[in-house]
Amino acid sequence: NEIKIFCPATIANLSCGFDVLGLCLDNVGDEMVVRKSAEKGIRITKIVGADLPLETENNVSGVAGLALLETVNPDFGFEIEIYKNIKAGSGIGSSAASSAGAVFGINALLGYPYQTKDLVQFAMQGEKLACGNAHADNVAPALLGGFTLVRSYSPLDIIKIESPSELYATVVHPQIELKTSDARSVLKQTVSLKSAIMQWGNVGGLIAGLYTQDYDLIGRSLHDEIVEPLRSVLIPGFDSIKQAALENGALGSGISGSGPSIFALSKGAATAEKIAKAMCEVYEAINLPYEIHVSKV
């Protein structure tokens, strides 16, 4: 009658895949307890570690859960406790973790009426509440693990992507908050054909590199023509962090989700740790508080 869930942080976009690519961090995340209750509907009974709304309709977990319940309508309800570790506005999928956790927990307590992949559509409603846009590139990897691709939004088509065994992610979070809605408002609504050609070449290259374990190809493909130039100016020290990552063996580096976190991918744990150290030195030199994570992909 109760389930405890680890709700992982995620890196969306991965440079070339704005709103379509994401990956799951296996050791950074929130915890959530979902339990059945006699009263129908959803109540958020506890939030620890963040100042977030308890009202179901104003909480991403509540909204995602309600979207699922609308299709099932059981004669009981659910209580949710949320223990946040992922900071809001950090760029590693804080709202996605909560949205994904809620639908995963509720689906489990309902006896799994849905396959995990089919929960993405409900979790996306939490993202819509959080930033005004129902993107799936954080909730899909949070639910499915590993790398995911949103091949299409309409109809929704989520693909789980194989990734090489020695791929690691390093993520540094400068301690400022950047709202996804603000980071989306700086984007242009049109792209040039020239930029689009480079971008879809890189998306294809990245997917091919992941499947063939071609680390050099993964690195060559981690490039963003369209979004990074507009958003990187919002992130303190972005160029220095990226340069430090590349100089210390990163395959590629870019903005994690909508920022301000910055990620680097690398081959092997030792390189990922070396990159982490170099990133820390950059922020220490300018006295900017940060958090750092190294995770296997």
CB 102 within 8 A of CB 20: no
Q: Which residue has the tokens 């590629």?
A: 252
Counting contacts by CB under 6 A, is residue 98 touching ligand HSE? no
Q: Which of 65, 205, 237, 257 binds ligand HSE (CB under 6 A)?
A: 257
Q: Which of 15, 121, 258, 295 binds ligand HSE (CB under 6 A)?
A: 258
Indicate the residue among 95 and 248 with the shorter CB distance to ligand HSE.
95
**Distance (Å, whole) CA 10 – CA 295:** 11
Instruction: Tell me the pairing of strands 41-48 and 77-83.
Output: parallel
Counting contacts by CB under 6 A, is residue 19 touching ligand HSE? yes
Counting contacts by CB under 6 A, is residue 138 touching ligand HSE? yes
Q: Which of 90, 180, 199, 295 binds ligand HSE (CB under 6 A)?
A: 180
**Distance (Å, whole) CA 223 – CA 242:** 12
CB 180 within 8 A of CB 89: yes
Indicate the residue among 138 and 248 with the shorter CB distance to ligand HSE.
138
CB of 44 to ligand HSE, least distance (A): 22
CA distances for 145 relative to 42, 86, 117, angstroms: 26, 17, 11
**Distance (Å, whole) CA 30 – CA 100:** 11
Contact stretch for ligand HSE (CB under 6 A) within 10-18, 105-113, 268-276, 288-296 = 10-18
Q: Which residue has the tokens 């993107």?
A: 135
Per the structure block, which two tokens stand in for 259? 């920022």
CB of 258 to ligand HSE, least distance (A): 4
> Which residues does the annotation mark as catalytic?
127, 180
Counting contacts by CB under 6 A, is residue 182 touching ligand HSE? no
Indicate the residue among 180 and 271 with the shorter CB distance to ligand HSE.
180
Indicate the residue among 71 and 133 with the shorter CB distance to ligand HSE.
133
Contact stretch for ligand HSE (CB under 6 A) within 46-54, 135-143, 189-197, 281-289 = 135-143
Torsional sign, CA 40, 45, 47, 51? positive
Counting contacts by CB under 6 A, is residue 13 touching ligand HSE? yes
Per the structure block, which two tokens stand in for 85? 């570790």
User: Computed over its alpha carbons, how large is the radius of gyration of the chain?
Assistant: 19
Torsional sign, CA 113, 114, 120, 122? negative
Q: Name the residue number minimizing CB distance to ligand HSE.
A: 257
Counting contacts by CB under 6 A, is residue 12 touching ligand HSE? yes
Indicate the residue among 180 and 266 with the shorter CB distance to ligand HSE.
180
CB of 112 to ligand HSE, least distance (A): 28
CB of 96 to ligand HSE, least distance (A): 7
Of 272, 189, 289, the closest CA to residue 237 belongs to: 289
Indicate the residue among 109 and 134 with the shorter CB distance to ligand HSE.
134
Burial 265-290 (b: 16+ CB within 10 A, else e): bbbeeebbbbbbebbbebbeeeeeeb
Residues in contact with ligand HSE by CB under 6 A are 12-13, 18-19, 135, 137-138, 180, 183-184, 257-258
